Amino acid sequence: MKEKVLDTARRLCDTMMSNFKNAKDLPPEKLFHYHQGVFLSGMMNNYKLTGEEKYYDYIKAWVDSIIQEDGTIDTYDPTRLDDIQPGILLFPLYERTKDEKYKIALGTLIDILRTWKKNNAGGFWHKDMHPNQMWLDSLYMGGPIQAEYAVFSGETKFLDEAAEQAVIMYENMLDAKTGLMFHAWDESKEVEWADPATGLSPEVWGRAQGWYVVAILDILQFMPDNHPRREKLIEIEKAVLASIIKYRDAQKRMWYQVIDKGDCAGNWIETSCSCLFTAAIAKAIYMGILDKSYTDYVNECFDAIYDSVEKKGDEIYVNKVCVGTGVKDYQGYIERPTVANDLHGVGAFLLMCAEVARIN
């Protein structure tokens, strides 16, 4: 199984490198953004398992196309967490090269997080343009880089902050009926989609839930055993994963765009969330949070996702991937377009491959 998984990851990486021969052309071009960050994070995780230098070189080429020799980040938006996420690529680049420009750029991103705006509950705003709103996506954009920076720099407050954001989300965004979490929460209850009593958005969107469970594990891997929030994060992760498992489609062995409404008209199986859930379950097994008996379940999920993607010779195209979306109602989510080899989906698929390979 491990060789199948790693071979699949290689084929997908090679497909992307063939379609985007110059890393700087990855969309959105010339922007330091989570679309490229997610894809290249997945590539980096598989590089660490395969040791194929062309993948490291490709990642470095993209970063170097945006970060200048003095550490300046050419194009990014400091008011949205989406443009902080690619900073996690800077840790392995600095570790290997000791080039100060990566450390300087990392410091720029971290300094932004030092004064990030918060709602009254202490939760990070998703973006400046979304005051008081927490979106599940945000935990992946800001949490892992904070946790790793805490170890990198010794500033442990960043690990505490990352953990606190996960807890605030769980305490305010949980759907008690399903055990899943709503896409977003407006603490001020002012935005049009917010429930007037709770401030919650109306639906459980697959990929947002996926970012959340993957991010908690990424935070936990940098957390010492005696950290006061460690057991709470493990408790949350196990509870949410248990609920996610309940909603997998029994026949297709994948998950729906709106997770808990698989029997509703128009809903459809979405690949990126299925990859993220599979990655999270696999990583939870690897970290000892879930029992090894779940390995067969993970492999079954991987095989189902593998069977669903399009193969053209040696090339792989991950299809049925929802493009990015804001907060929607049910109809809005199911009407979102899909794109084959959208970077969200490719990144999620590669993250899954790395974690499945590690437990086989």
- Residues with catalytic roles: 137
298: region left, alpha or beta (phi > 0 left; psi from -120 to 50 alpha) = alpha
User: Do the beta carbons of residue 65 and residue 106 sit within 8 Å?
Assistant: no
Helix extents (H) in the chain = 2-19, 34-50, 53-66, 90-97, 100-114, 137-153, 157-173, 206-220, 230-246, 271-286, 295-308, 330-334, 343-358
Q: Which tokens hold the place of 121? A: 């509950």
User: Do the beta carbons of residue 222 and residue 147 sit within 8 Å?
Assistant: yes
> Which is nearest to 41 in space by CA: 144, 111, 126?
144
User: Do the beta carbons of residue 338 and residue 322 sit within 8 Å?
Assistant: yes
- At 70, the amino acid letter reads D
- Whole-number Å distance between alpha carbons of 192 and 202: 11
Transcribe 218-286 into DSSP letters. Answer: HHHTTS-TT-TTHHHHHHHHHHHHHHHHHTS-TTT-S-BSBTT-TTSTT--B-HHHHHHHHHHHHHHHH
